[in-house]
A and B are shown apart, each in its own frame.
Chain A
């Protein structure tokens, strides 16, 4: 009896499609363990082997990994929210209201998105603090520190652009402060604010621009930089060690 599933399993593994997908054996030898990492397009950004000290929780607090996890949560929940949200001044506010009261699991998904966004700002900041206090920004990791600061800036900008989308009083006046900050640019302040927000005050254009930046522009740049960020860790010799 027991040999039947074993035979089926063998048949699947010898199948042409299986062998073109997985070009290494079961990862129980050192060779296959290495192959499993660097023949996978996602895993190959990582080092094939991780040093023992890298697993120590008190050293990293897992803050980088948690930031990435929250980024994935935000991408998934955000994509689902897009099915019900319309970025126009007529609909934005009532769509969010409907999300809370009418859409099944809408309130859950919206709040996951909201709290993950707050959480990501915190974890990215703490990750940066850890990297600073462990001296991990020093050569050869100085390039990755620069990528990290860009990612911190992008996290803030993603939060800020998402802040406007509910189109309520809080969002409107918070982003109006941003408008005035942009308008305080020396010499060309009014032009900069007009260009960024698409008008002389917050209106339909500003809402649409922030929406496009929030759901397409900034996430694409962020994902691109995250890939480089992970790959640089491998190239710079894995995670930094204790001093």
Chain B
């Protein structure tokens, strides 16, 4: 039992008896405060970690493949822009792909330029191919990066716009290895 300090009980008792009441209370308050502060600190980082991503980084369902392909057919393969998630759907040879709308030169948002029938970056003049988004001219060191695309059993295409999980490419021709969703 814990009792107020008196010399006899200290000498007579064991370890527990030697704890004075004020020590127990002090440790209790201190421990409780540290626990509360520790808990708040521990939940801070998970709390600030954003789970629901909108725009760039989200998984974007872009619709049925048949609809996308018929739109490509109607517009002579014009790239289809998704502004918020920052990508173009492009009709590569034998594939439907998603090109990250970020110039591989210095990161400007590359627009599709209908009058030139190619991508033309306004910052430093890099040019990219309409169907494959490979470099046609300018200072860009490599083709536009691709997002991973998937197609479910119902034919719906989903683009994973996580910019940390890209297909980075080299070369000036479409490589069959980049194909993830076929256009047939």
Contact = CB atoms under 8 A, between A and B. Distances in A.
A190 B164 contact: yes
Contact of A198 (B48, B56, B86, B162): B48
Contacts of B56: 199-201, 203
A68 interface: no
Nearest to B164: A190
B111 interface: no
Contact of A200 (B45, B48, B49, B163): B163
Interface in A185-206: 190, 194-195, 198-201, 203-205
B31 interface: no
Contacts of B50: 194, 198-199, 205
Interface residues of A, number: 10
A201 to B, nearest CB: 5
B48 A203 contact: no
Contacts of A203: 54-56
Interface size class of B (residues with CB under 8 A): 10 to 19
Contacts, number: 29
Contacts of B48: 195, 198
B141 interface: no
B53 interface: yes
Query: Would you call the interface of chain B mostly helix, strand, loop, or mixed?
Result: loop
Nearest to B86: A201
B57 interface: yes
Contacts of B163: 200-201
B100 to A, nearest CB: 11
Nearest to A191: B49
Given A190-B164, A194-B50, A205-B50, A199 B55 contact: yes
B184 to A, nearest CB: 32
Interface string A13-57: 000000000000000000000000000000000000000000000
A195 B45 contact: yes
Contacts of A194: 49-50
Interface string B40-72: 000001001110011111000000000000000
A101 to B, nearest CB: 28
A201 B163 CA distance: 9
A200 to B, nearest CB: 4
Interface of A: 190, 194-195, 198-201, 203-205
26 contacts: A190-B164, A195-B45, A195-B48, A195-B49, A198-B48, A198-B50, A199-B50, A199-B53, A199-B55, A199-B56, A199-B57, A200-B53, A200-B56, A200-B57, A200-B162, A200-B163, A200-B164, A201-B55, A201-B56, A201-B57, A201-B86, A201-B163, A203-B55, A203-B56, A204-B54, A205-B50
Interface of B: 45, 48-50, 53-57, 86, 162-164
Given A194-B50, A201-B163, A205-B50, 8 more contacts: A194-B49, A198-B50, A199-B53, A199-B55, A200-B53, A200-B163, A201-B57, A203-B55
Of all A-B residue pairs in the complex, the 5 with the closest CB atoms, nearest first, are A200-B57, A198-B50, A200-B163, A200-B56, A201-B56
